[in-house]
A and B are shown apart, each in its own frame.
Chain A
Amino acid sequence: MAMNEAVGQALSLGKLHLPAKPKVLSIEATDYVDHMGEPALEVWVTIDEGTPDSELTGQAFNEISMVIDNSLQAHGVTLFPYLRFGKPSERQELAVNA
């Protein structure tokens, strides 16, 4: 299976058993090169705009990370995944300021 196809299947939102909170709207992966020069993945997890701070928990962060890591591994993806999180408005602000 081509790597892009494997990544796409691994990160298919409907197939991942993510925690209920915070609500994940989308997961997108792009090719990335880390600061050590190693090919990797940058995985953006977009969470619901209305997510309160009380849902930005360590447990949720670690659970979401583990689900993504396990799924990528199960689909044979060996690229190291670097995870980013943000609400749509936060991501928009990063894009504007880039």
Chain B
Amino acid sequence: MHEDLLAQAKLLATIDPRRPSQVNLRRAVSATYYAVFHCLTEGACRTIMGAKHDAAGYRNVLARSFTHKGINDACRSFSGGTLPDFVRQGLPSTATIPKEVQTIAKAFVRLQEQRHHADYDRAASFTRSEVLMLIEGTIGTLSNFENLESSLDKQFFLACLLAWPTLSKR
């Protein structure tokens, strides 16, 4: 799904031959955000339920349990490169936050902010340059994240996207 959303975003951002329509730029920003949202939630659901085809239905139901705020809060922590003490203390000393995780986490927080304005702020406007760069940058960031070798560090990040609202209150 996320590849299709990014393709849609590119189409919307480039569909106007001259002056870009703000409506198209707004929808492009929103589609780009949801590309990352679905990539991360799908990755998290595969971590929890497994990637087998017959688990798809379970993953689809589980995917509805993520919240935008919960993922945002988790990503803010992971994007900084260090985790709060309450999390770090229980992890092995070898635990790290891979660069690709930090990058996608920061991208998510930024995209959510942009998407909030694109979808809800009637006064917001976007430049064509920033939307084009945002889409291309997101394509690269998602690719790097997906190509990151599966590891406990990567799986932990994905699992935290669901668990953070509870974990952060400990």
Contact mask for chain B residues 91-114; partner A; CB cutoff 8 A; 1 contact, 0 none? 000000000000100100110111
Q: Does A90 contact B (CB under 8 A)?
A: yes
A28 touches B (CB below 8 Å): no
Contacts of B72 on A, CB cut-off 8 Å? 36
CB-contact partner of B116 in A35, A51, A58, under 8 A: A35
Q: Name the residue among B110, B125, B129 with the largest chain A CB count within 10 angstroms.
A: B129
Kindly state the interface size class of chain A when it binds its partner: 20 to 34
Question: Per a CB cutoff under 8 Å, which of B110, B130, B133, B141 touches A60?
Answer: B133
Decide: A91 and B113 in contact? CB cutoff 8 A.
no
B88 at the binding interface (Cβ < 8 Å): no
- Are A34 and B132 in contact (CB-based, < 8 A)? no
Determine if B129 and A58 form an interchain contact, defined as CB atoms under 8 angstroms apart: no
B69 in the interface (beta carbon within 8 A): yes
**Given the complex, which residues of B lie within 8 Å of A87, measured CB to CB?**
127, 129
Other-chain contact of A58, B76, B117, B125, B138 (Cβ < 8 Å): B138
A83 and B132 CA atoms in complex are apart in Å by 14
Query: Scoring A residues 44 to 65 as 1 if CB is less than 8 Å from chain B, else 0, what string do you get?
Result: 0001000101001111111001
Task: Render B120-143 as a binary contact track against A, CB cut-off 8 A, 1 for contact.
Answer: 000101011110111111111100
Assuming the A-B contacts A34-B113, A90-B127, are A58 and B136 also in contact, with contact meaning beta carbons closer than 8 angstroms in the complex?
Answer: yes
Give the 8 A-B CB pairs with smallest separation, nearest first.
A58-B136, A61-B137, A86-B127, A90-B127, A58-B140, A85-B130, A61-B133, A35-B116
Binding site for A on B (CB under 8 A): 69, 72, 76, 103, 106, 109-110, 112-114, 116-117, 123, 125, 127-130, 132-141
Residue contacts A-B, CB under 8 angstroms, 27 given: A34-B113, A35-B112, A35-B113, A53-B132, A56-B133, A57-B133, A58-B137, A58-B140, A59-B136, A61-B134, A62-B140, A65-B106, A69-B106, A80-B76, A80-B109, A82-B113, A82-B114, A83-B110, A85-B127, A85-B130, A87-B127, A87-B129, A91-B127, A93-B125, A93-B127, A94-B125, A94-B127
